[in-house]
A and B are shown apart, each in its own frame.
Chain A
Amino acid sequence: DAGVIQSPRHEVTEMGQEVTLRCKPISGHDYLFWYRQTMMRGLELLIYFNNNVPIDDSGMPEDRFSAKMPNASFSTLKIQPSEPRDSAVYFCASKDLTDTQYFGPGTRLTVL
């Protein structure tokens, strides 16, 4: 079975541009999580969905960040406008009814 798929793997953009990160969870998993990893703050949960519905978005840093899950096999995390401090690795993870989350390979975002 394919694991969690994320695209793009690397993204370099300029400050002020819109950035969209994409995630395809493992088939059959009904929970999807977005994390951000930085050296300063470690791994932080941004938002998670259950059955395509956002359950907890308290980790979303500010209104410039938004996440959607239009169907069970696709989610996006959008940053508009992007800022240099948004540079990080963004991970998507999914899980089924068991406790274990499986992570995608991550998207390394650099905002110049």
Chain B
Amino acid sequence: AQKITQTQPGMFVQEKEAVTLDCTYDTSDPSYGLFWYKQPSSGEMIFLIYQGSYDQQNATEGRYSLNFQKARKSANLVISASQLGDSAMYFCAMREGNTGGFKTIFGAGTRLFVKA
């Protein structure tokens, strides 16, 4: 069963507008961590933002924020004021509970295109 689902294979956004990339996850463990990574065309994996399952507030890092809705098991990434350099592949990932050690599962990714 897929544990991380990213339903948007591709997204377009106008420069300077905000965009939301969807991610839903599935776990029965109360302790887990959620991540977003960016992979530009150059291929490296860049860490963007992290949310722990016990964190009370949504994580924010500059123009990135994570809309964490625990009951719905969703962890959407919001990018505000999109820039051309934001065009890339974005991966949602989950580190599943203590029983899973530090195994991290990645979603299939969403390709974001920022239009000038």
The residues of A with any CB-CB pair to B shorter than 8 Å are: 31, 33, 42-45, 48, 50, 55-56, 89, 91, 93, 95, 99-103, 105-106, 108
B109 / chain A contacts, CB cutoff of 8 Å: 42
In contact, B43 and A106 (Cβ under 8 angstroms): yes
- B66 → chain A closest CB, angstroms: 13
- Restricting to B32-46, which residues have a CB under 8 Å from any CB of A? 33, 35, 37, 43-46
Cα–Cα distance between A88 and B101 once the two chains are bound (Å): 26
- Restricting to B73-104, which residues have a CB under 8 Å from any CB of A? 91, 95, 101-104
In contact, B101 and A89 (Cβ under 8 angstroms): no
Q: How large is the interface on B (under 10, 10 to 19, 20 to 34, 35 or more residues)?
A: 20 to 34
Q: Is the interface of A mostly helix, strand, loop or mixed?
A: strand
- A50 → chain B closest CB, angstroms: 8
In contact, B104 and A101 (Cβ under 8 angstroms): yes
In contact, A105 and B44 (Cβ under 8 angstroms): yes
1/0 contact trace for B25-65 toward A, CB 8 Å? 00000000101010000011111001010000000000000
Given contacts A48-B102, A95-B102, A99-B95, A42 and B35 within 8 Å (CB-CB): no
Cα–Cα distance between A101 and B91 once the two chains are bound (Å): 13
A33 / chain B contacts, CB cutoff of 8 Å: 102, 104
A55 / chain B contacts, CB cutoff of 8 Å: 101-102
Partner of A56, one of B45, B103, B108: B103
In contact, B103 and A100 (Cβ under 8 angstroms): no
